[in-house]
Amino acid sequence: MSMALTIPALTAYAADNSAKALTLEQVMADPDWMGNAPHSAYFSDDGKSVFYSQKISGSNQQQVWQIDLATKQQRKVEDQELFTLDNSNGVLSPDGNLKAFNNRGDLWVKYLSTGDVRQLTRTNTNEGRPQFIGSNTVAYRQGNALYAINLNSGLISQLADIKLTDDPDKEKNKSYLDKQQSRYFDYIKKQQQQNTVARERNNKIAQESDLDAPQSWYLGNKKEIHTVSLSPNGRYLLVGTYPKVKSLGKSDNMPRFVTKDGYVKNEKVRSLVGTYKPRNETLYLLDLMSHKKHQLDYSGLPTINEDPMADIKRATAKRNGQDYKPHQGNRGVAVFDWIPNRGVSWTDDSSKVAIMLYSDDNKDRWIVSLGVNNKALKTMHHLRDEAWVNDWDFNDFGWLNDNKTLYYTSEETGFSHLYLTQGRKVNALTKGRFIVNNVREANDGQYLYYRANKKHPGIYEVYRVDLTTRKSEAVTNLGGLNSFKLSDDATQLLITHSEATKPNELFRFDLAGEQAPTKLTNTVSDKFKSFDWVQPEFIEVPSSQVDQPIYARLYKPKDFDAARAEKYPAVIFIHGAGYLQNAHQGWSGYFREFMFHTFLTQQGYLVLDMDYRASKGYGRDWRTAIYRQMGTPEVVDLRDGADWLAQNAHVERSKVGIYGGSYGGFLTFMALFTEPDAFAAGASLRPVTDWAHYNHGYTSNILNTPEVDPIAFERSSPIEFAEGLNKPLLIAHGMVDDNVFFKDTVRLVQRLIELEKTRYFETAIYPIEPHGFKEPSSWLDEYKRIYYLFEENLK
């Protein structure tokens, strides 16, 4: 592929001159020019105003703003106010009069009736995760210890001190010489007896008095803390420990060539899939009053001792000429921790705790409850997925205010839905071919609010279900994408809303009476508004393999003419992450690509942006279609998209190019290598070339591990199919990418060199760029090259 060609000016424009022409320089400039959208928005404690953060133009710093909901006026929050500002992560006291929060590592409490704020700590350590014990005591964690502050007296009391060592007072196995000494000498025997009496008396005094700090808890050495959760009444503590290891896997290396001192700097980066060793979490329930420790028993969990990968392991052993060795004993489990503090839920009365557990192979999820009196685990819900349980989404769960009913989301029907259970009978609150997430219970206990794509897979509105009638109703009807925050008094919603051509803005909705949400912010710049952005059409591409359409965005030139003699060239954009939805009807995280697609339409291209199989938002079967075969169903979907363009959008079938980054770069390789006649050219950005070199958490879900399932890796890695390349390919990669390592590109390039594919590929490297580029100059260089590739090969 030659780059030495005459390129039309980057401002070249199609016949429609009524719109302002874009340049790539504008598209790839520092995004501050677009205006900076609000984020991290929340209601003030009194519900009369809204706070949000906004990036400061020309800086990496954030500015906090306050909007008065009565006047709609907004003001800049000064830096000195940030210490006492209403906090979005605060916790309410049971009587609703106080709010405790952590700000910059210190603890604060706010008296909601007066608005007065009181600082409880001022230290250089972090007093984290405050919670109320009753209405006058605030508990918090500091390291491996828990403390409580009495708001009336100011007394700080230690609730629990966790030691990751063996108990020094525990009777150890005595050696022969130890036993001999106490047998021979009364002096030694008397000393031992006196020490035992003194220890027992001191412990008894401590237990019977509220004036002394409690005894320490010794959980053993060579361990580390994973889970810590205190019951609302402050009596019980759930603690989970992992075996302590030096590393979670063998780290790889990443050199930095552009450094301050001119010397190459080598950095240790993440380990590779299969080198990570899953760790079993041991859970204890600690009774802080009686100082009794109970270890939770997992043996009753359904299928805990089954190996769901037995058939795969048996086939791999046979392939390697080895004997298959069946799995023995229980599989490892751990508390869910993708969302901090979301893996444990206590009832308000502290009588029960619910825990979300995952198996170490991610084939099973259990939601269990533990009664503090009977100490037995009870399985409230069990979800098995032969591929992998979706641990990225649909993990909402918790107790309702009645202290006996658990709500949760599950993909058991193929789509994530909302359920209630008390342990036996399960009630489905939602059902249908849509997904439910972001479940929140109103503080008044009347409704569960949630987000769902009921109207269309690409439209997410806010809904609520009445917990008495168990009927759902739509709260918003805005279209596009909507996320929400509920005010403490459950009377209003703060909505973050976007549309395909409109970035995020804030809206407020009065649940009591307003007919439509009120827009609060207008952060998009006039310059951004001055461009006539192409509104994508939301289409359904029929699949050649499954009875479900492939949802996509279609970008057409403003002067599109389906009857003109010359057919159009087209580009298919392939989103990254695999499990991500981009053909929705809201503002895309791929905002540069959105603008680039308008630019391409101005150059006479059509652009198709597809949510291929593996994408988010379309149910379990769509998500897991790639299990053990990444790059196979997705490429079929991309080919179906190209065929659809030719049949329905006046596109020249031989002039369809593709591009994408990360997972999109991987699929660009797989498409060009395994379907070389389907696409005319492709650009692969920051691409995975060999899944055996990617991380464990993502890859092992889909392909298992190379040792267990080598066939899955071999059928899914582009480097295995590189000999199929016969069309122009651009490979672009940042050299300090600590997500998809630059060595992925290096290894593939060496493979292409050895296969004598010189005429077909070019490589662009970016010495200072990570996975997501930072510098506008790098973005511009990369997308100029993509544009040149398409101009040369699709026009």
Sheet holding 91-92, edge to edge: 91-92, 98-103, 106-111, 116-119
Q: What is the DSSP letter of 512?
A: T
User: Using one digit for the tens of pLDDT, what is the confidence trace for 545-568?
Assistant: 999 999 999 999 999 999 999 999
Q: Which residues contact 371 (CB under 8 A, 6 or more apart)?
A: 351, 352, 378
User: Using one digit for the tens of pLDDT, what is the confidence trace for 97-153?
Assistant: 999 999 999 999 999 999 999 999 999 999 989 999 999 999 999 999 999 999 999
Calculate the CA dihedral of residues 613, 616, 620, 623 and round it to 10 degrees: 40
| Of 513 and 464, more confident | 464
Q: Which residues contact 668 (CB under 8 A, 6 or more apart)?
A: 574, 658, 659, 660, 682, 683, 684, 687, 729
- CB atoms under 10 Å from CB of 635, counted, come to 24
- CB atoms under 10 Å from CB of 794, counted, come to 22
Q: Work out whether strand 426-428 and strand 417-421 pair parallel, antiparallel, or are unpaired.
A: antiparallel
Say which residue the tokens 């992450």 belong to.
577
Kindly state the tokens that stand for 506: 């804030």
- Identify whether the C-beta of residue 397 lies closer than 8 Å to the C-beta of residue 408: yes
Question: Of 96, 110, 91, nearest to 151 (Cα)?
Answer: 110
The answer to whether residue 631 scores a pLDDT higher than 80 is yes
Residue 497 pairs with which residues in a beta bridge?
A: 482, 505
The answer to whether residue 173 scores a pLDDT higher than 50 is yes
Confidence of residue 260 (pLDDT cuts 50, 70, 90): very high
Q: Which residues contact 737 (CB under 8 A, 6 or more apart)?
A: 254, 686, 769, 770, 771
Confidence of residue 4 (pLDDT cuts 50, 70, 90): very low
What pLDDT is recorded for position 623? 97
CA distance to 145, 216, 231, 238, per residue, from 158 (Å): 7, 10, 15, 16
Radius of gyration (C-alpha) of the chain in whole angstroms: 30
- Identify whether the C-beta of residue 744 lies closer than 8 Å to the C-beta of residue 779: no
- Phi and psi torsions of 285, nearest 5°: -105, 120
Predicted structure pTM score: 0.92
The answer to whether residue 207 scores a pLDDT higher than 80 is no
Candidate from 154-168, 497-511, 612-626, 768-782 with smallest mean pLDDT: 154-168
What pLDDT is recorded for position 7? 35
- Identify whether the C-beta of residue 781 lies closer than 8 Å to the C-beta of residue 762: no
Question: Of 566, 546, 562, 564, nearest to 554 (Cα)?
Answer: 562
Question: Of 248, 410, 385, 409, nearest to 701 (Cα)?
Answer: 385
| Of 488 and 339, more confident | 488
State how far the Cα of 25 lies from the Cα of 781, in Å rounded to an integer.
9
What pLDDT is recorded for position 15? 39
State how far the Cα of 483 lies from the Cα of 38, in Å rounded to an integer.
13
| Of 342 and 752, more confident | 752
The answer to whether residue 201 scores a pLDDT higher than 80 is no
CA distance to 45, 92, 442, 596, per residue, from 113 (Å): 10, 13, 21, 52
User: Using one digit for the tens of pLDDT, what is the confidence trace for 460-505?
Assistant: 999 999 999 999 999 999 999 999 999 999 999 999 999 999 999 9
List, as one string, the DSSP characters of 42-76. EE-TTSSEEEEEEEPTTSS-EEEEEEETTT--EEE
- Identify whether the C-beta of residue 687 lies closer than 8 Å to the C-beta of residue 699: no
What pLDDT is recorded for position 33? 98
State how far the Cα of 600 lies from the Cα of 545, in Å rounded to an integer.
30
User: Using one digit for the tens of pLDDT, what is the confidence trace for 595-606?
Assistant: 999 999 999 999
User: Using one digit for the tens of pLDDT, what is the confidence trace for 410-421?
Assistant: 999 999 999 999
The answer to whether residue 388 scores a pLDDT higher than 60 is yes
Candidate from 114-118, 323-327, 398-402, 657-661 with smallest mean pLDDT: 323-327
Say which residue the tokens 């997972």 belong to.
663
User: Average pLDDT over the chain, rounded to whole?
Assistant: 93
Query: What is the mean predicted confidence (pLDDT) over 161-182?
Result: 77
What pLDDT is recorded for position 573? 98
What pLDDT is recorded for position 247? 79
User: Using one digit for the tens of pLDDT, what is the confidence trace for 53-105?
Assistant: 999 999 999 999 999 999 999 999 999 999 899 999 899 999 999 999 999 99
Residues of the chain above pLDDT 70, percent: 95
The answer to whether residue 238 scores a pLDDT higher than 80 is yes
Helix (H), strand (E) at residue 378:
strand 377-384
Say which residue the tokens 């889909």 belong to.
702
- Identify whether the C-beta of residue 494 lies closer than 8 Å to the C-beta of residue 50: yes
- Identify whether the C-beta of residue 761 lies closer than 8 Å to the C-beta of residue 729: yes
The answer to whether residue 341 scores a pLDDT higher than 80 is no
Residue type, 721: F
CA distance to 206, 259, 336, per residue, from 360 (Å): 40, 40, 11
- The percent helix, strand, coil of the chain (3-state, each to 5) is 20, 30, 45
Question: Of 367, 299, 364, 376, nearest to 330 (Cα)?
Answer: 299
State how far the Cα of 781 lies from the Cα of 24, in Å rounded to an integer.
9
The answer to whether residue 10 scores a pLDDT higher than 80 is no
Kindly state the tokens that stand for 212: 């002394």
